[in-house]
Amino acid sequence: MQTHILGYPRIGSKRELKKACEQYWSGKISSEELAEAGRAIRFQNWKTQAAIGIDLIPVNDFSFYDQVLDMSLMVGAIPERYLPLLENPNISPLDHYFAMARGYQKDGLDITAMEMTKWFDTNYHYLVPEFTEKQGFNYHSTKVVDEFKEAKRKGINAKPVLIGPVTYLLLGKEKTSGFDKIDLIHNLLPVYLEILKDLETNGADWVQFDEPFLGLDLNNKEKEAFQFVYQSIRKAFPKLKILLATYFEGLNDNIKLALSLPICALHLDLVRNPAQLEEILLQIPEKLSLSLGLVDGRNIWKNDFNKSLEVISKVINSIGKERIMLAPSCSLLHVPYDLEAETQEGILLPEIKQWIAFAKQKLKEVVLLQELSLPNPHKDTLLELETNKAAIASRENSSLIHNETVKLRVASISPSDDKRDSRYASRKTLQQKLLKLPALPTTTIGSFPQTGEVRKWRSQFRKGFIDAKTYENLLKEATEKVIRKQEEIGLDVLVHGEYERNDMVEYFGEQLAGFTFSQFGWVQSYGSRCVKPPIIYGDVFRPAPMTVFWSSYAQSLTKKRVKGMLTGPVTILQWSFVRNDQPRSQTCRQIALAIRDEVTDLESAGIKIIQIDEPAIREGLPLRKSEWEAYLDWAVEAFRLTSSGVSDATQIHTHMCYSEFNDIMPSIAAMDADVITIECSRSQMELLDAFADFKYPNEIGPGIYDIHAPRVPTKSEMVQLIKKAQDVIPTAQLWVNPDCGLKTRQWDETEKALKLMVEAAKELRAME
């Protein structure tokens, strides 16, 4: 019974790679220094795994930016616009690589970066491969072999990890029409065979192919591609041991296909889908090994050894221990490095710490499970089992987790709780009477530029250099300034600017019961960007109002309406580590009730327009279409629970960042927000078509300027975009606003752009 992992975090336990990359990009360190930082992290990761006793250590799980971009370079899928860089002898391969990741604006060249999108249902973003009809491939970068040799020099016979060819193609995007990317498999496979040849020649024994698409809905052509690829590999390399890794979903209807592939081992995500094991054991061919993904690679809770050992012993009885491998469910990329780094008091509660395992602790869990499944474990190992049992029991019974009042409240939600009093049409009349807004009302999405100054106050306050009162006064001044600015610009509905917030989820997590935080719990989001998700460990409720103070303060400064600003339950859930002892839907309902309390308190405080941001609704969609409906049901219900406690005259807004709405339009409509603002300008209002086709009845604010770049749009551009919107949506339903929050922009450009935006709205009003 061998232990292995699918991949390890690579940003460095103190985010060394982030820092090194950013220093390299700003010219502060050399490429050699950056390379050294990479080597040091790889070596440290290998050493950690070897010391803990992992048998098969992966290589090529490291990346300076993204593993999918690495794969594109390995197979030479380099979009044409980067070829001038490639041919330029003064541009190093490393700079060429970063140009693909981040764009290139130098020496009169202006080349856009590759597009980025979410890696399955995680918060990690990868760089989308770009394919054309005549796409060629060639063995371009030898990264995987280089890292294999590097490990070998350190005495490690590692397991190279590659994104499987089918998954690689399915992750990409067709940049020209008239072909199906999966047909490129015939051009692509020969390059994979060259890579494998190189690996075999250098002594590789095992090779891991990540094929998470094997756990998703596949059409016939895609299924055939799996057969074609793995049959061909087997034929070319009869001795190489191929491990095929699936994760984030169960194999379900693809079980037969997976079991028919000529591979040596199949990895299963038994955290996400434990049920698949039964059927697999019934059908498994005689020589295939199973890698049991029992330790959760997506969440931070300790493994329940008793439960895992039961599964392992069942598999031993069925196929024998020689054919079993033990592993985390997926790459550990999605969890933080090391729980032992959490030493600062008052951040991660000690009682909760004993329930948690980060990446390094998960390595240990895999090894302990191995030792405990073999005959006569050492007495220290048995002691570890006892400690584990005690931790699991303490979590099950902890008074920190369970709150009867919360449970009772969720259990007694009544069918009317998630419905507004009247239908939208009647609400609209009441709201118009109260709010008296002009046609095409103007507003913003919430945040205004968070300058270095604001961030400095916050960090000084956190470090205790300035006291709460001083901090509050500074924020008050900033808020007042932002109110005056908005009045001057002439916006119709104002916001308070969100200066008191560091992050739209953390800010609420810090004030809700049931949440805790970590000091170093960083997880890579993309490139050098990391996030530190809050940890939801217990029943959630709101001990006290969270935003009423700032919204009321802002409202007291002006005669115009100030919009209250909240984060919705699905987004809070989606961007946190969540508890695994109850369904996500249940946790979401609790958060919904907590935010509902805030909504009604805002209303009582005189805030009659309240925005509940839900940018993560779409990304929370399950990977299998068959599960969409159930998810959308509870996600929409949670939003409605949050928003339905107010009277008809109070106007509820929601904001969603860039999302494809087409296939979820009925659910978006069912959210029944009075106004929805969406990101639209980069797609030239295309996203609005879904709303038009659906005859979406409520109001919509399609973003008319792109806040992701410093560029100030012209007035006529914005007029054109509003007109485009008017072509498909009646004017009476339209709002005028930017794409998203202005937090990352500078004041200068923001002021100019918003003034032009207001003028654009006025120009069109005059034409009505």
Residue 302 one-letter amino acid: K
Cβ proximity to Zn ion: between 251 and 617 the closer is: 617
Per DSSP, what are the bridge partners of residue 670?
A: none
Asked whether position 740 contacts Zn ion by CB under 5 A, the answer is yes
Residue 285 CA: distances (Å) to CA of 238, 315, 716: 17, 14, 66
DSSP-derived 3-state class of residue 596: helix
Q: Structure tokens of 392?
A: 């699991």
Nearest-angstrom CA–CA distance, 562 and 2: 61
Question: 527 touches which of Zn ion, ligand GLN, none (CB within 5 to 8 A by kind)?
Answer: none
497 binds, among Zn ion, ligand GLN, none (CB under 5 to 8 A by kind): none
Looking at residue 48, its amino acid is T
Q: With CB cut-offs between 5 and 8 Å by kind, which of ligand GLN, Zn ion, none does residue 182 bind?
A: none
Q: How far is the CB of 694 from ligand GLN (least distance, A)?
A: 22
DSSP H/E element including 102:
helix 93-102
- The position carrying tokens 């003064």 is 90
Are the C-beta atoms of 482 and 444 separated by less than 8 Å? no
Contact by Cβ (8 Å): 215, 269: yes
Least Å distance, CB 323 to ligand GLN, is 47
The verdict on 447 binding ligand GLN (CB under 6 A) reads: yes
Site residues for ligand GLN, 722-741, by CB under 6 A, read 740-741
Structure tokens at 415: 């069918």
Stretch that binds Zn ion, among 96-104, 137-145, 491-499, 733-741 (CB under 5 A): 733-741
Residues belonging to the binding site for L-homocysteine are 445-447, 498, 613
Secondary structure of 200-265 as H, E, C letters: HHCCCCEEEEECHHHHCCCCHHHHHHHHHHHHHHHHHCCCCEEEEECCCCCCHHHHHHHHHCCCCE
Nearer to ligand GLN, 267 or 563 (CB): 563
Using CA atoms, how far residue 88 sits from 96, 661, 688, in Å, is: 10, 42, 42
In the complex, residue closest to ligand GLN by CB: 741
Residue 565 in the binding site for ligand GLN (CB under 6 A): yes
Annotated binding-site residues for L-methionine read 445-447, 498, 613
Q: Tell me which residues in 527-556 interact with ligand GLN (CB under 6 A).
A: none
Q: CB of 655: closest distance to ligand GLN in angstroms?
A: 5
Is residue 445 within 8 A of residue 704, CB to CB? The reply is no
Residue from 743, 751, 756, 757 touching ligand GLN (CB under 6 A): that is 743
Nearer to ligand GLN, 362 or 743 (CB): 743
Alpha helices (H) in 563-687, listed in sequence order? 569-574, 584-604, 628-643, 665-671
Q: Which residue has the tokens 């103007």?
A: 442
Residues whose CB falls within 8 Å of the CB of residue 713, separated by 6 or more in sequence, listed in order: 681, 704, 705, 706, 753, 756
Binding site listing: 15-18, 118, 123, 445-447, 498, 529-530, 575, 613, 619, 655, 657, 679, 740
Taking the complex as a whole, how short is the minimal distance between the CB of residue 457 and ligand GLN, in angstroms? Answer: 18
Residue with smaller CB distance to ligand GLN, 342 or 498:
498
Catalytic residue, chosen from 140, 378, 496, 708, is 708
Within positions 635 to 664, which residues make up the interface with ligand GLN, using CB under 6 A?
655, 657
Q: Residues binding Zn ion: what is the number (CB under 5 A)?
A: 2
Tell me the CA end-to-end span of the chain in Å, nearest whole number.
Answer: 75
Stretch 475-514: interaction string toward ligand GLN, x if CB under 6 A: -----------------------x-----x----------
725 makes contact, choosing from ligand GLN, Zn ion, none, with CB < 5 to 8 Å by partner type, with none
Q: Which two tokens stand for residue 571?
A: 């987004």
Which member of 258, 367, 657, 688 binds Zn ion (CB under 5 A)? 657
Paired residues of 611 in beta bridges: 565, 653
**Nearest distance from residue 703's CB to Zn ion, in Å?**
8
Least distance in Å: CB of 448 to ligand GLN?
A: 8
Active site residue 140: no
Positive or negative torsion for Cα 642, 534, 547, 564: negative
User: For 18-144, where are the E strands, in sequence order?
Assistant: 58-59, 104-106, 109-111, 116-118, 125-127, 130-131
Smallest gap from residue 512 Cβ to Zn ion (A): 22
Query: Which partner in ligand GLN, Zn ion, none is near 743 (CB below 5 to 8 A by kind)?
Result: ligand GLN
The encoded tokens of residue 19 equal: 């820092």
Active site residues per annotation: 708
Binding site for Zn ion (CB under 5 A): 657, 740
Binding site for ligand GLN (CB under 6 A): 445-447, 498, 504, 565, 613, 615, 655, 657, 740-741, 743
